[in-house]
Amino acid sequence: MRWGTLSGYGALVGAVRALECSPSAFQAALPQNASVNFAYQVKANETFQVPAGDLGYPTSPTGLPSLCAVSIQVQSLGNSTYGFGLYLPDNWNGRFLAMGNGGLLGGVNWLDMAPGSRYGFATMSTDTGHNATNANGTWAKDPNAVENWGHLAMHGSVVTGKIATAAYYEEDISYNYYSGCSTGGRQGLKEAQEYPEDFDGILAGAPAWWTSHLQPWTVKIALYNLPETADYHIPPALFPAIGDEVIKQCDPQDGLTDSIISNPLGCNFRPEELLCSANVTNATTAGCLTAPQISTLYNIYTDSIGENQTFLFPHLYPGSEAQWVLLSGSEPNPLGPNYVKYLLGLGDDWNFYDFDEDVQRLADKLQPGNATVDFDISAFHNKGGKLLHYHGMADGLIPTGSSNYFYNHVESTLTPQGIDLDSWYRFFFVPGMQHCSGTPTTMNAPWYFAGANQAAALGNTVYGVPGFRDEKHDALLAMMAWVENGTAPDTIIATKYKNDTTQAEVLRQRPLCMYPKEAKYKGTGDVDAAESWECKSLY
């Protein structure tokens, strides 16, 4: 038995009892289907060394608080297993926080667990049942591994992780939270839908919720710009010129010229302004586009439509150009082809140039890993859960429109059931934010609010919102205030530091507004101060 002080955020002041931080102590507390890989104490300010060969998340977190680091393996379908990691800080705040994963990466996301442990949360991350980089999808040849990735590993890791946490502290967990972005956003929404008892509050960013359409679209959008020898191919060297023209046209259209595109959907963008004049011999060096390249731009900014006018997937928003990684290179991002080859089972030899709508039909039929999230998430509402969802408007990896599409369809599904969303599910656009974090240097939009993965983007020892550790600026604290005190967040103030590395001075702050409201400048006051803005309904 060990004693430590309890002084985390909102926690009781006193002492906390804990088991020994040893494999045998945890093993004794776990059901038979779980076995301990390791458990050892990490001292304050030490580095946790990620186990060698952890392919998905190799980066080791530094500057940790004093905590017990645990790795546990759980038996799943057939012979398959999944693993998860736990950080159990000495200064526990009584709460459990699960973090999400990214892409098809297999591994425990130790790096993203670290910020939560600095608040005092017991933090957990699952490896989703495989050990792999995004470039290698062969793990998905095993259907059990696909089911683990889709939903079983997160749920089972949460259930088992809670047992280990409560046993270690010899005390019940007071509240259970989740924070994830991208695949992590999908995992959060999937938990809300299928395992509503797991969490009290879920923070879901840029969710890859429509996996069965997102991954085929990842191949389709790449093909708009391939092969590189085609006359319609736009070389990445021209993306900045396109981004500049988009800002030139779309920034003033939102009512304030501030370099941030706040209403990309309302922008009537005219690509022809980028056409090369007759005397240009090299479009790339001249920074202009040929007529065939202009057609490619139209494809990029148009929804993906299938046979019989079926809506397949939303387009990338204008303003996402600085993150057009899916349109760079000589082949699609491996997430697309790996999904088709291994999760849809078309095999190693499938050539992405053979992509056609049959691929989409197959994905709709198979729904690998049951990964796509249903619109009926009423069970999470019925048990009193709170859901906070956000998406950057300059996201170049997962089209921003897939988030409002989800929100709108949940509303259409639940309103007839008599369920009003505002009391438990709120969605926030983040103007100028890229995929989960960051902003183009040409926009410098406020994007930081301690969302999932964001702390690591500022620095290895960051947590919360430096300088603004309160529920108005920190989405995780806002979620806690909502769950524990019933204070629902109308706005979250996002921050852009002058220098993200030092976080010493603020460049800009601005409120993020609850959809479908939008932040509007009041007309007077410093445009870079949050109080000069208000959330207005456009409808």
Ligand X SMILES: *[C@@H]1O[C@H](CO)[C@@H](O)[C@H](O)[C@H]1NC(C)=O
* Residue 78 makes contact with ligand X by CB under 6 A: yes
Q: Nearest to residue 445, comparing CAs of 276, 319, 313?
A: 319
Could you say which of 151, 155, 391, 435 is catalytic? 435
d(CA 431, CA 394): 7
Contact 449, 469 (CB under 8 A): no
Cα 157 to chain centroid distance, Å, stands at 19
Pattern 365-404, binding to ligand X, x per CB under 6 A? -----x---x------------------------------
- Which entry of 320, 395, 402, 437 is annotated as an active-site residue? 395
Residue 471 touching ligand X (CB under 6 A): yes
Task: Report the length, in residues, of the chain.
Answer: 539
Q: Can you tell me which of 411, 484, 528, 534 binds ligand X, judged by CB under 6 A? A: 484
Catalytic residue flag (residue 473): no
The C-alpha atoms of residue 210 and residue 381 are separated, in whole angstroms, by 21
CA–centroid distance for 159 within its chain: 22
Nearer Cβ to ligand X, position 486 or 523?
486
Q: Where are the beta strands (DSSP E) in 119-232?
A: 122-126, 175-181, 201-205
If binding is defined by CB under 6 A, does position 49 make contact with ligand X?
no
Residue labelled with tokens 């046993």: 167
Binding mask 294-323 for ligand X (x = CB under 6 A): -------------xx-x-------------
Question: Catalytic: which of 182, 262, 378, 403?
Answer: 182
Estimate the crossing angle of helix 183-194 against helix 153-169, to 10 degrees.
80
Which amino acid, 526? D
Q: Which range of residues in 128-136, 202-210, 244-252, 255-263 is near ligand X by CB under 6 A?
A: 128-136
Query: How many residues at the interface with ligand X, by CB under 6 A?
Result: 38
| Nearest residue to ligand X, by Cβ distance, number only | 53
CA separation for the pair 473, 398 (Å, rounded)? 25
Among 93-101, 224-232, 274-282, 319-327, the segment contacting ligand X (CB under 6 A): 274-282
SS3 readout for 307-328 = HHHCEEECCCCCCCHHHCHHHC
Q: Under the criterion CB under 6 A, does residue 330 sit at the interface with ligand X?
A: no
Residue from 264, 258, 253 nearest 526 by CA: 258
8-state DSSP, 3 = E
DSSP helix/strand/coil, 375: coil
The tokens for 384 are: 């009193």
| Nearer of residues 174 and 532 to ligand X, judged by Cβ | 174
Residue with tokens 């760079």: 328
Of 12, 347, 499, 526, which one interacts with ligand X (CB under 6 A)?
A: 499
Amino acid found at 133? T
Rounded distance, CA 439 to CA 243, Å? Answer: 13
Least gap, CB of 335 to ligand X (angstroms): 15
| 131 contacts ligand X (rule: CB under 6 A) | yes
Rule CB under 6 A: which of 56-75 touch ligand X?
A: 63, 74
231 is a catalytic site residue = no
Residues 404-423 that bind ligand X (CB under 6 A): none
Q: Does 285 bind ligand X (CB under 6 A)?
A: yes
Confirm whether 244 is a catalytic residue. Answer: no
CB closer to ligand X, 216 vs 318: 216
197 binds ligand X (CB under 6 A): no
What residue ranges bind ligand X (CB under 6 A)?
Answer: 10, 31, 33, 45, 51, 53-55, 63, 74, 78-79, 131-132, 136, 138-139, 156, 159-160, 277, 279, 282, 284-285, 307-308, 310, 370, 374, 471, 480-481, 484-485, 499, 501-502
**Which amino acids are annotated catalytic?**
182, 395, 435
